[in-house]
Structure 1
Amino acid sequence: MAKRVEAANVTAYYGGFKAIENINLTVEPKTVTALIGPSGCGKSTFLRSINRMHEVLPGARVEGNLTIDGQDIYDRDVDVTAVRRMIGMVFQRPNPFPTMSIFENVVAGLRLNGVRRKSILEESAEKALRSANLWDEVKDRLGKPGAGLSGGQQQRLCIARTIAVEPQVVLMDEPCSALDPISTLAIEDLMFQLKDKFTIIIVTHNMQQAARVSDRTAFFSIEKTGDPGRLIEYDNTQKIFSNPAQKKTEDYITGRFG
């Protein structure tokens, strides 16, 4: 079931460097939210804070509150593995496991979670591949290496792998930046379909993509190099792109800076 994500005064550090400061926003279930802004403004840092991948780096830490349906994921008693199981991640470049078949790529997370029954794995793989709009293209070669697919197919395979474990939230960090225009449109179409089941948060540098796929848009920026990223404006996507409240937002989306 899709979950609500709430950030309250979220600040993230890399050692002594403050990457983002006092981020406050709420992401509603079954929506697509786009994070936009210039390079280095903390979009990906915030995204990785949501599934606690930020803290994997030595010296990295997060302050403030990040909750998933009211549960503070940074509470000391929280199982970090369970958090990451609940919040899936799709990365910038397609990263199928190179030595695994298409089938084994999709069910890798299920196996890690202890699923062993062949019938369940097969049913889950088909369901995930259908949801990722990839089933018809690969159903006759599930035993072939996932790395043998095209770039766009590999990214859809990674999405299938992510949703096979049925997370409540799916994070996408520039999922189309390494893809051609046709593959990009396929991923965008997929986002529309997946938001019926998942809460989706995407980082993108593509303004047109943010305008096309998202329900709400968050604009991050920095004052100058070395300053922490801050949330400048967060609103319905149509309003952000047609009538932003902040001049800095307007300057960015119209290409005056960034």
Structure 2
Amino acid sequence: MKKYWFIFCKTDIMLEKAEDSFSIPLSEDCPIPLHPWTHVLNITPMEDGTEVKAVMIDQPVTDYPQYEMCGLRPSFYRLPNEFYLKAGKCHELLYWDNNTRFCGVCGAPMKMHTDISKRCTNCGKEVWPQLATAIIVLVHRGDEVLLVHARNFKTEFYGLVAGFVETGETLEEAVHREVAEETGIQIKNLRYFGSQPWPYPCGLMVGFNADYNGGDIHLQQSEISKGAWFTKENLPTIPEKLSIARMILDDWLEKTSK
């Protein structure tokens, strides 16, 4: 029976080229040679029931003209959304597999117990993939929104206030804290927007809208390099379409244009 093979080298995925599109290789066996020791993961099947396998290789594929290596992020623009999302899940599980080879309690080798869990071969400790949960929020002030440029951004685009949820903290508390820490302002009327898997390498982004409730902008210099209020007429460069940040901004732009 044919299976989809999601083959990664670090953060690049192997795509199969068609005339004017890309897909994931579909075959009974892995379409490229693997080492005898390569660990092949079983992943939740596609919606149509087709089996899915995930593999991490140590060298990019260059000897097969029908295949092309592509970064996971840019694969968003080449793959159908169902395949892009599955690729993200595969990469997260491969990352987890690579980082849980040995038990954190006794140091013995870990062995797969189910498709999404491992058990220590010595002490029996079990581990499952873990997500790093983060919040992201668009703050509104009349017809303006607050956008920031984080120091870890690789280009000059502006994004939304975001940050990781801390231990013992609700999502709502995390939103208020991150906005206060990064910009010095207060917010109110917090509204859930949606969530998004963020496999870079293993995150979950939870999106919100909120309203300004006072204070002047005082940026957290260690995290944020620039930040300001913008209207839709003077927006800076904004995040690309694969991110929930862009989804929240596009939703705001669509509503304000009506």
TM-score range, shorter chain: under 0.3
Work out which of the two has the higher radius of gyration on C-alpha atoms and give 1 or 2: 2
Name the one with the larger helix percent: 1
Normalising by structure 1, what TM-score?
0.27
Normalising by structure 2, what TM-score?
0.27
